[in-house]
Amino acid sequence: MPVDSTTFRSVLGQWPSGVCVVTTTGPNGLHGMTASSFSSVSLDPPLVSVCLGNHLPSRTLLGEAGKFAISFLGKDQAHIGRRFAGQDREITDRFAGLDWTMTPNGCPVLSDAVAWLDCTVAHAYPGGDHTIFVGAVTEAALPRVISPLLFHSRNWGQVAQPLPATVQVRDTASPDDGLRFEFVADGLDSLPSPERVISAKRSGTCVVGYVTDAFNPDREDEVLATIGALGALGCDEIGCIESATTPASPLQVTRILQDASVRVRPAVLRVRLNGHNRLALVNALVAMKNGVAHFDVGNTGLPVDDLLHLSRQLEVNGPQEADLAQIRE
C-alpha cells in the first residue's frame, strides 16, 4: 500500500539538509531556484545531483541549457532561499539587487555564497514527478567562510554544535614555560611575520594567536578577518579575548564563535571570557555550544570553580583535579 502523502512529507521534513540556489541560462536570460535536493554523487569523476520538479520552468530551462551552477547558501541568506523559492511575493526579478559572478560555463553564482559549483549536465534520469540531473563539475570555489544555512521541519535553521565531551582550562597567570609562543593581535596589521611563526613551529613551540576585544559588535568584520589570518599563518591555537570595557553579549559570542569555529580549523579555538561580566557563565555555555572546549581562566578571566560547576551541571567532563589544584595555588 502506498504511504499517504501527509505522512511522507512529514517524514521527509525530519531530514535536515543544506540549501542551494540552482541557476542556469535560458532564452530569456538568467533563471534560478532554491533546492535542497542537492547531493554529492561521485568524487572521481566529480559528479553532483539535484532533483527538479517536472512541472517547474527551471526543470525545462536546465534540461535545454545542458548546464547549471549551484550556490550554497550561508546562515544569513534565508531571504535568498525564500526569494528563489518564489515565497517573496514582492520580488519580481529574483536576481535583482544581489551580487553575482559568472562562472566559466556562463551561469551566475552568488558572489557571497559559502561555495559554488559549475556543472554541465552529464545525465538526466526520470525520478517520478521530478528529474534527477547529474552534473559533471567543471569548476568550484569557496568564496565565503561562514556556516551554512539549513532547512529542517519546513523551517530555516543553522548548525547547532553539540556540547563538547570535555572542557579544558589554561591558567593565564601560569608562568611561560617556553613551549608556547603567545601573541595578541588587535587586527590584521598587528600579526607576527610568517617567518617568526614558522621558526617557532620548527622548534616544536605551540603558536597561540589571540584577538583582543573579540566580542565587540563594532569590530565583527575585523575580528573574523583576523581569526582567518591567524589560521592562515598556521597558529596551533587561536584565542578570542573578551575586553574588560566591552562586555560580551551571548548573541555576539554566538555570532563570532559560530564563524570562528569554521575558520580556525584545524587549530584549537580558545576563549578568554571576562570573569567580571555578569553573563560570563551564560557566555561560557554559548561558547561550548559553538564548539569551544578550551577556556582561559585566572587573572580577570572566568573563575575556574564557576566553569567547573557549569561543566558538571551540563554533564560535560571538566578539567582534571590535578590541573585545578595547580591553578588554585
Query: Interface residues with ligand FMN (CB under 6 A)?
Result: 19, 33-37, 51-53, 56-58, 81, 85-86, 130, 151
Task: Output the smallest distance, CB 71 to ligand FMN, in A.
Answer: 13
Pick 40 or 199: Cβ nearer ligand FMN? 40
Task: Output the smallest distance, CB 33 to ligand FMN, in A.
Answer: 3
Q: Taking Cα atoms as reference points, which of 299, 306, 310, 304 lies closest to residue 323? A: 304
Task: Output the smallest distance, CB 52 to ligand FMN, in A.
Answer: 4
Pick 19 or 240: Cβ nearer ligand FMN? 19
Pick 25 or 226: Cβ nearer ligand FMN? 25
Pick 151 or 215: Cβ nearer ligand FMN? 151
Residues with Cβ within 8 Å of residue 159, at least 6 apart in sequence: 75, 147, 148, 150, 258
Q: Taking Cα atoms as reference points, which of 162, 160, 150 lies closest to residue 14? A: 150
Q: Taking Cα atoms as reference points, which of 256, 9, 288, 34 lies closest to residue 145? A: 256
CA distance 171 to 305: 12
Task: Output the smallest distance, CB 147 to ligand FMN, in A.
Answer: 17
Task: Output the smallest distance, CB 90 to ligand FMN, in A.
Answer: 15
Cis preceding linkage at 266, omega within 30: yes
Pick 57 or 194: Cβ nearer ligand FMN? 57
In 3-state terms the chain splits into helix, strand, coil percentages (rounded to 5) of: 30, 35, 35
CB of 21 closer than 8 Å to CB of 73: yes
Task: Output the smallest distance, CB 122 to ligand FMN, in A.
Answer: 18
CA distance 85 to 91: 11
CB neighbour class for 72 (10 Å; exposed up to 12, middle 13-18, buried from 19): buried
Pick 34 or 311: Cβ nearer ligand FMN? 34
